[in-house]
Amino acid sequence: MDNKIENDPFSQNDTILSSALSEKVKYLSDLNDSIKDGNDLKVYELMDPNRFATEVKGEQPDQPKANFFGLAADLKTQLSHHLSNKLIDYLGTTYPFFYYHEYDLGKFNIYFGNWWDHRMFGELDAINVQFNFAEDEYNTLSKSFELEAQNKRVNDDQMRELGQKNEKLTQLIEDQNKRDQRKEEIRKQIKENEEKSPMPWEAGKVKEEHQQLQNALLELTNIDEQASDGRAEIKKNENQILALSKEETIYNLEKQNIRASFGSFEAFIDNNNNLYAKYLQSLSKETQVTDGE
Amino acid sequence: MSNENNETEKKVLTTTELLNNYTGSIQAGLDNGTKYVKAFESLNQTTELPDLLTAAVQLTNYQLNTDFVEFPHQFSDEDVQLVFFERLLKLSNNANGFGISNAEHVQKLLCKFGSLGDNTFTFTKSTKNPAGFFFGPTAHNRPLFYLNLKNKELMFHGSSLIDYFVVDLEGLEVSAIKQALQVMIQAAEVLKENFGFKIDFNVLDGVNGEFYEFAAGKIPEPILDELFVKSADNQYILMSGENGGAALTLDNDTKLTVFNAGNEDRPKWGADIHDNDQKESWLNLLLDYPFIKDWYLDNKKQLEILSNKIIFG
């Protein structure tokens, strides 16, 4: 252990410290100016200089740039609120089918479309310029695109099944008269069977016949029961089919809108992945145009 | 005692007095008849709308028979309403083929619309109000509107109009149906403009913002789901509206909005329609858009449009 303190082992001196602090002060003052000037492009650069350099400017810096964003990191929600203004304007033209609701300061839910029962589709991250899609919703949309290529729909199987159930129930209800007739016949046969006084060697056969008739009757009354609950069941299934068609209608609108803006789901994904660069480049173009005027 | 004497004295009439009373009573009966004839002539011949209304009001519930004079052939109060209605339309140039169809005898008069073929219509007296009459098709018991000339009221009955024009007459040209509806609307307009009648156009009201109130009060979501699916099948998109409501933009910027005009606790769901010409009514939408009609009929119990409950109830 070295107890001497006169020679600073870390080569620290006040000049260095002061310069470091000045840099920080300058950072915060730059950030503040950019906010006041409405220069969102600069704000984004200040928040993440390395990402900005590689993705927006296309540079490959040898060394990572100093990042002072930690100094303002506790103001993320306020910054997000500030930055969302221009970002949402931009998204309004590139993703015209998305709608945003700021449910808390700087926090935005994304809604897909403004049609009836539109889906909540995740959140918008204004700081990182990216969509954080809700997994379930996004996966269903993705599946819907996939199935569409095979001429199928997400809810097809379920809807077909419910439709078949209803057809069957309708048939059961319609067949009530036939069953009533059949039951009458069986009852007659049972009566005849019971009136027989068989020879001992035939007794077993007669008894067996009796049992078979009883079973047939029981089966028919079971079907009767199903039929009598049928109407309520049919209504229930119809409601489910309606709910499923509604979902399909929503998926269709979503797909239509994505195609109208991007041509394909793949192009949509690609654009999402490059959103940061695309947005900031568009801001940069805007700034140049304004400067030129 | 003295009272009895007085009465006995009163009852003793001379022959002259008796005959005077007799002729007086007959004359009064004849005068009553003359007054009736004058009013009837006016109903039949006047070219002035105010005289026409006065005559019709005078003749409605007119006590034509007296103890001494009776008239065997009389038109009913219902007939008077129909004659009035026909002449009102003709005098204001709105008949468009509307006319009384069986004027051969004194009997219950019927009428036809120029565009509705052989379907006949007539007035029926209200059981609640002797001055009130329901107008409807003779083949169906459907009060299309209520007319009270004395109180200056005409009220259309929404669900009857729909049941008749959308369901009973299904298959008929929509333009023919609209022509007949227009005749009734015009009659109401003339009554409103000339005499200040109180009119409830109900499902025929084309004024923007007219609220068509649904019978159910609260509309469950699956009903709007169904409209959403049916609209999409027909290339219209039901948009999400305020407070759980929905809006549908149809052709020519006609916008149908379904919403809760009440609040959570006391819901009052209904619809309104906005269009540039303020002409589109609920009934027109049902006639013009089969998918809206199907939706309405599928959920009629909830979506039925309310009419005046006291008059039609």
Instruction: Give the pLDDT score at B236.
Output: 96
Domain interval for residue A67: 14-76
Rounding to the nearest 10 degrees, give the CA dihedral for residues A162, A166, A169, A174.
Answer: -170
What string of pLDDT tens digits covers the 293 residues of chain A? Answer: 445 455 667 777 888 889 989 999 999 999 999 999 999 999 999 999 999 999 999 888 788 888 899 999 999 999 999 999 999 999 999 999 999 999 999 999 999 999 999 999 999 999 999 999 999 999 999 999 999 999 999 999 999 999 999 999 999 999 999 999 999 999 998 888 888 877 777 888 888 888 999 999 999 999 999 888 888 999 999 999 999 999 999 999 999 999 999 999 999 999 999 999 999 999 988 877 665 44
Query: What is the pLDDT, as a whole number, of residue A290?
Result: 64
Does the residue A138 lie in any domain?
A: no
Distance (Å) of CA A288 to CA A49, A88, A276: 20, 20, 18
pLDDT, residue A228, reads 87
Report the residue of A97, A114, A116, A252 to disrupt the B interface, i.e. the one with the largest count of B CBs within 10 Å: A116
Looking at the predicted complex, does its ipTM rise above 0.90? no
In a domain, A181, yes or no: yes
Contact yes or no for A117 and B237 at CB 8 A = no
- Is residue A169 a part of any domain in this protein? yes
Alpha-carbon distance of B184 to B171, in angstroms, equals 21
How does pLDDT run across B226-262, given as a tens digit for each residue? 999 999 999 999 999 888 899 999 999 999 999 999 9
Phi-psi bin for B110: left (phi > 0), alpha (psi -120 to 50), beta?
A: beta
CATH 3.40.1350 fits B212-312, yes or no: no
Q: Does A118 touch chain B (CB under 8 A)?
A: yes
- What secondary structure does DSSP assign to B152-184, as a single string? TEEEE-HHHHHIIIIIITTTS-HHHHHHHHHHH
> How much of chain B, in percent, has pLDDT values that exceed 70?
96
In a domain, A127, yes or no: no
Say if A178 falls within a structural domain: yes
Instruction: Inspect the interface and report whether the beta carbons of A116 and B225 lie closer than 8 Å.
Output: yes
Of A116, A245, A249, the CB nearest to B224: A116
Pairwise CB contact (< 8 Å): A246 & B239? no
For residue B7, the model assigns a pLDDT of 52
What are the structure tokens assigned to B154, written together?
């005409």
CA distance to partner chain B, nearest, from residue A272 (Å):
26
Q: Nearest CB to B225: which of A117, A118, A253?
A: A117
> Do residues A279 and A93 lie in contact, with contact meaning Cβ atoms separated by under 8 Å?
no
Domain boundary among A29, A60, A76: A76
CB atoms B225 and A242 under 8 Å: yes
Q: Are B155 and B57 in contact (CB under 8 A)?
A: no
Residue A224 lies in a domain: yes
Q: How many Cβ atoms from other residues are within 10 Å of residue B301's Cβ?
A: 9
**Residue spans per domain, chain B:** 2-74, 79-202, 212-312
pTM as predicted? 0.83
pLDDT of residue A293: 44
Domain count, chain A: 2
Q: pLDDT tens digits for B288-313?
A: 999 999 999 999 999 998 888 888 87
Cβ distance A253 to B232 less than 8 Å, yes or no, reads yes
Q: Spell out which residues of chain A touch residue B229, defining contact as CB-CB under 8 Å.
A: 242, 245-246, 249
Pair type for strands B255-260 and B246-249: antiparallel
List, for residues B187-221, the tens digit of each pLDDT value: 999 999 999 999 999 999 999 988 999 999 889 99
**B271 and B257 Cβ atoms separated by less than 8 Å:** yes
Residue of chain B whose alpha carbon sits nearest to that of A249: B229
- Give the long-range contacts of residues B248-254, CB within 8 A, separation 24 or more: B250/B285, B250/B289, B252/B276, B254/B280, B254/B285
- pLDDT band of residue B110 (cuts 50, 70, 90) is very high
Output the six-digit token pair for B108.
């219950």
